[in-house]
Chain A
Amino acid sequence: MRTKEPVITGPHLCSGESGRRILWTHVGALWLVVVVSTAFFGWSAPVVLAGTVLTCVAVDLAMSRLVGSRNPASLPHAVFMGLLVGLTLPAMADTSWLLQIGVVGAVVASLVGKWIFGGMGHYVWHPALVGILAIHFLYPAPVGMVEQDEQFGTPRRAKYLLLSNNHLFVGDLSKSQSPGFYQFGKSRSGLLRPNSYQGWSHSVPSPPNQTWQLYRPVQTLQALAKGGIKNEEHTSQQGFSAVEKALYLSLPPLADAVVGSAGGGFGETSVVAIMLGGLYLIYRGYVRWQLPVSFLAAAAVAAAVLPMPVGSGGEWVWFPGFVGIGQPSELGVLPMIGSSHWFRAAAVGLTYVSFHLCSGGLMLAAFFLANDMATRPTRLSGQIIFGLGAGALTIVARLYGGWPMAPLGAYGALLVMNTFSPLIDWLTRTKPPGK
């Protein structure tokens, strides 16, 4: 009766969750995104993804061995990070070049993003975002913006986002073919029906090595905000405003942007696939719905309320199409509320906001990158603040830029918010009742 037997304290049951299970589920939630990216961008997608994933896993195994850490969740975590780095790379024809970039990004993500801080759960910035940031500074061209074309004079290798010539061709790509903001307005019919348009489900008939340039829809919006799209055609109210021109002529149909046959990173384009994966994570309880929803809501509201500069003369449009400051007739901005063009103005505004939400990695960031467990705030209220901040910052970065990470859009915004996570945690800390 006086044995020195250990006393075991409760709880004697466990919920059955494990870090491994959580992270493999995250990886699994991405499978549709991977499949869709393969369908749209050809075999270069799986090749590049395999490269980034294997690199991350290799670095991870080596570092675990070196540090002597035996966390079974670290492996799926590395797979997940590798996938995210790969999925944010721009789809390009030159697979080997892209693979090279991806591997460098994955090494940085794993080493600098994760292991310098001490591995799982200890890092401050999302490792995949750190990798993306490194790619952005090491190789400005692929994720870079339109104006760099003019900057460098000659098109550089792997500069454009492309549909390579071995992909499954779906969707109405006619308007995505080439942005060519400068040529618009001369012959609209020609623009709407380029010779090469083949309709749905045709493979691209192309001579070898011919590729189509695909711009991110968000790049068009940015060009618009920078005054890159001008209205030369008309001064009458029946004509298009600059915003409408961008929406109708330079952007792919919204449906294409939702399905994913638009320009962008491998895994960024398909809103449907990303949402399905994200909803599955929410269903499993690994992600709180409030975080992506607050992220998207803040982005939508910011896109709607932030004034956008149009033209070079310092003119602005507010909720694009509703109210213009400057000289409306010159800019072709639609008249104010109350006139007969109210519905048209509303349609323009809503389409504009939808394009902001559906392109440029915002969806991927909201559903898969924002809720990384170590870099988001832990409490619900903190997560909502985090989401709101990231969403608003994304749109600010897109419209005004001006800070170093602004060209990264949603990713840059997330990196900034990651920095503030501990502060948000501290601000939202709870107290026991009665204190």
Chain B
Amino acid sequence: MHKGFPGGAVLPDDKDLTEGSSIEKIPRPSAVQIVLDDGTNSTTVETTVRAGEIVARGQVIGLPQSDDGVAVHSSVSGQVRQVAESILADGTKKQSVIIETDDEDRSVLSQEKPQWKVYSEGLIKCLRWAGITQMGLAGGSLVARIRKSLKAGLRYVIINGVESEPLITSEVRLMTEHADKIRHGCELLTEILGLAAPNSKSSGPEGLFALCGLRQQAVGVMRNALKGGTFRLALLADRYPQDEEVLLTNTLTNSKLRATRDPADAGVLVINVTSVWALSQAWYDGEPVTERVITVAGDGTENTGNYRVPIGTRVRDIIEYVGPLPEATRYVLGGPFRGWSRLSPEGVITKQTTGLTVLTQAHRQGPEACIRCGWCIDDCPVGIDPVHLYRLVEAGRIDKVEKAWIEDCIECGLCLYVCPTHLPLLERIRMGKWALRQKRLTRPYSEIRD
């Protein structure tokens, strides 16, 4: 038995459909749309290019405005057509740059290969230069995580290769095929962050490499790759959603962090495998993030598999390449649980997109009345009562949702998945969270003080 956490569920994840298919490169798309996202949510990114400008692959097109932000690079060589605001898959608006690709594969990579010093500021500089964020479901800034965890006193470095989202195997494939690069990244982290060797008496943060125990192939490869290194392989149970950072931290370090907390504040640095791979590429090969591996899955396409695509590739181009089925109606950016979907292939691949799930139909039917089976409560990985929250939000009792731990919901979607009456539990919880935030914003000053 591998380690797990209370709640959660073992899902029929169908990962074997794509687990064995090696990473394939898709032909250069005719245009890409790169979202100017520096990894931090709040700040804007300054555009360094204008419409009509010729850019090369790896050229910086956006500069971060904040300390924790990272640079944004062009992922193709071509001509900038437009800098415009666009709506992302999750409904938020961001500036993005649309670049039409040309046939000359110009690249700035060979010209300058920066060198960094082997200490934590050097690491942060490298990440900011190469545009490396947390390249997984959680997203967000890796730089901020490193800064916070160093400030709190680094205790653990956890490399997150669990990937418990059903259907998605991009990180499993990445580990299977690029174990070397990931090993180099691990060694680099060991050196910079001063990790203690396993079984040694020396003090220092501990390194853990978390994997799902069920993914035999990746486990085998990584076990070999990590031999003699400081990172200890931690095999976890096949439970969704084990890859959420807080759950992962709680499982591996036997702590009890609240889901609202960032593990980095407790001195636990969680890094996605894809980010480690990108770090290794940036540090040793001088390559910024211009590509990532995604899994194309779902019943709406025949050619499921893992593809290496430039950042900013439009979903439409990918669909065209893998061959669309006429029945496809939903294009989910991300996995089938935590992904956001549109009814048309309008989305673009960003740094944190792990996959593209194409579905033919809505699996959810109209809601019926709750029959109080209690499954949502059983399976909720953070132990809150989703149906109670649902009722509170339906009744408009926003004053009560905070006491019912609405903020602890990690939006894993499990409650909605198991609910036999298909109640929109998670939607209402999101609404409740939003309403709570609004309420906080408008609270009088006297209330905020205490």
B422 within 8 A of A: yes
Q: For the complex, give the distance between the alpha carbons of A215 and B267 in Å.
A: 71
Nearest B residue (CB) for A375: B372
A380 close to B (CB within 8 Å): yes
Mark contacts of A1-16 with chain B using CB atoms, 8 A cut-off: 1 yes-contact digit, 0 otherwise: 1110111111111110
Interface membership of chain B positions 312-333, coded 1 if the CB is closer than 8 angstroms to chain A and 0 otherwise? 0000000000000000001010
Are B86 and A14 closer than 8 Å at their CB atoms?
Answer: no
Cβ of B344 within 8 Å of any chain A Cβ, yes or no, is yes
- Minimum CB distance partner of A383 in chain B: B374
Please tell me if B365 contacts chain A, counting CB pairs below 8 Å: yes
Cβ-based interface call for B343 (8 A):
yes
For the complex formed, measure the closest distance between the CB of B368 and the CB atoms of chain A, giving whole angstroms: 5
CA distance A430 to B257 in the complex (A): 15
Is B259 within 8 A of A432, CB to CB?
A: yes
Q: A71, A122, A433: which contacts B368 (Cβ < 8 A)? A: A71
CB pair B261 A9 closer than 8 Å: no
**Chain B interface: which of A17-25, A329-337, A392-400?**
A17-25
Contacts A2-B87, A22-B373; is A12 near B359 (CB within 8 Å)?
yes
- CB of A205 closer than 8 Å to a CB of B: no
Instruction: Indicate which residue in A7, A120, A286 contacts B342 across the interface (CB closer than 8 Å).
Output: A7
Interface residues of B in 360-378 (CB under 8 A from A): 362-365, 368-374, 377-378
Whether the pair B87, A71 counts as a contact (CB closer than 8 A) is no
- Asked if A9 and B87 sit within 8 Å, CB to CB, the answer is no
Q: Which A residues are CB-close (under 8 A) to B414?
A: 11
Report yes or no: A1 in contact with B372, Cβ–Cβ below 8 A.
no
CB of A11 within 8 A of CB of B87, answer no
The reply on B89 being an interface residue by CB < 8 A is: yes
B337 touches A12 (CB 8 A): yes
Is B102 on the interface with A (CB-CB < 8 A)?
Answer: no
B430 contacts A9, CB within 8 Å?
yes
Interface string of B408-432 (1 = CB under 8 A from A): 1000011011111110001100100
Q: Of all chain A residues, which has the CB nearest B384?
A: A432
B420–A21 touching, CB < 8 Å: yes
> 1/0 per position for A299-316, CB-CB distance to B under 8 A?
000000000000000000
Query: Given the known A-B contacts A433-B257, A435-B408, are A13 and B337 also in contact in the complex, defined by CB atoms under 8 Å?
Result: yes
Within B337-356, the residues touching A (CB, 8 Å) are: 337-344, 346
Using CB atoms, name the residue of chain A closest to B420: A17
Known interface pairs A19-B421, A433-B256; A69-B87 also in contact (CB < 8 Å): no
Contacts known (A2-B87, A22-B420); A10 close to B377, Cβ less than 8 A: no
CB 8 Å contact bits of B378-398 with A (1 = contact, 0 = none): 100011110000000000000
CB of A378 within 8 Å of the partner chain: yes
CB of B383 within 8 A of CB of A15, answer no
Q: Mark B130-166, 1 if CB is under 8 A from A, else 0.
A: 0000000000000000000000000000000000001
> Is A11's CB under 8 angstroms from B416's CB?
yes
Instruction: Please report whether the interface of chain B is mostly helix, strand, loop or mixed according to DSSP.
Output: loop
How far, in Å, is A68 (CB) from chain B's closest CB? 12
Give the docked Cα–Cα distance between A18 and B334 (Å).
26
Contact A10 B364 (CB under 8 A): no
Please judge, given known A-B contacts A7-B341, A120-B371, whether A435 and B405 are in contact too, CB under 8 Å. yes
Closest residue of B by beta carbon distance from A4: B87
How long is the Cα–Cα vector from A19 to B423 in the complex, in angstroms? 11
Residues of B within 8 A of A5 (CB): 342-344, 346
A433 to B255, CA, bound (A): 9
A373 within 8 A of B: yes
Whether B274 is near chain A, meaning CB under 8 Å from some CB there, is no
Q: Judge if A434 is at the interface, Cβ distance under 8 Å.
A: yes
- With A11-B336, A120-B371, A434-B261 known as contacts, the answer to whether A19 contacts B420 (CB < 8 A) is yes
Q: Does A344 contact B (CB under 8 A)?
A: no
A429 contacts the other chain (CB 8 A)? yes
A374 interface residue, CB < 8 Å from B? yes
Known: A9-B427, A432-B258, A433-B383. A73 touches B416 (CB 8 A): no
Cα separation A435 to B441 with both chains bound (whole Å): 24
Assess the B86–A19 pair: CB atoms within 8 A.
no
In the bound complex, how far is the Cα of B427 from the Cα of A205, in angstroms? 67
Does A65 interact with chain B (Cβ within 8 Å)?
no
B357 at the interface (CB under 8 A from A): yes
Contact between chains at A3 and B346 (CB < 8 Å): yes
**Among the listed A1, A6, A8, A14, which residue makes an inter-chain contact with B417, where contact means beta carbons less than 8 Å apart?**
A14
B91 at the interface (CB under 8 A from A): yes
Query: Residue of B at shortest CB range from A21?
Result: B420
A156 lies within 8 A of chain B by Cβ: no
A121 located at the interface, meaning its Cβ lies under 8 Å from any Cβ of chain B in the complex: yes
Q: Are A14 and B341 in contact (CB under 8 A)?
A: no
| A1 lies within 8 A of B87 (CB) | yes
Most B-side CB within 10 Å, residue of A12, A15, A380: A12
Evaluate whether A8 and B330 lie within 8 angstroms (CB atoms) in the complex, with A13-B336, A433-B382, A435-B405 already known.
yes
Verify B250–A433 contact, CB threshold 8 A: yes
B4 CB to closest chain A CB (Å) equals 13
Q: Let me know if B364 and A14 touch, CB within 8 A.
A: yes
Report Cα–Cα, A434/B265, bound state, in Å. Answer: 14
**At the interface, yes or no: A431 with Cβ under 8 Å from chain B?**
yes
Shortest C-beta distance, A286 to chain B (Å), equals: 8
Whether the Cβ atoms of B420 and A18 lie closer than 8 Å is yes
Complex Cα distance, B338 from A11, in Å, reads 6
Binary flags per residue of B198-238, CB closer than 8 Å to A gives 1, else 0: 00000000000000000000000000000000000000000
Which residue of B has the minimal Cβ distance to A122? B369
What are 23 of the A-B contact pairs (CB < 8 Å)?
A1-B86, A1-B346, A5-B343, A7-B89, A7-B90, A9-B427, A10-B332, A10-B335, A10-B340, A11-B413, A13-B363, A14-B416, A21-B420, A22-B420, A286-B373, A374-B371, A430-B377, A432-B383, A432-B405, A433-B246, A433-B256, A433-B383, A434-B259
Known contacts A12-B363, A378-B372, then 19 further A-B pairs from the complex at CB < 8 Å, ordered by chain A residue: A1-B87, A3-B344, A5-B344, A7-B342, A10-B332, A12-B330, A12-B364, A13-B417, A14-B363, A14-B365, A71-B369, A72-B368, A373-B374, A380-B378, A429-B385, A430-B377, A431-B405, A432-B258, A433-B258
- On B, residues with C-beta under 8 Å from A are 84, 86-87, 89-91, 166, 246, 250, 256-259, 261, 330, 332, 334-344, 346, 357, 359, 362-365, 368-374, 377-378, 382-385, 405, 408, 413-414, 416-422, 426-427, 430
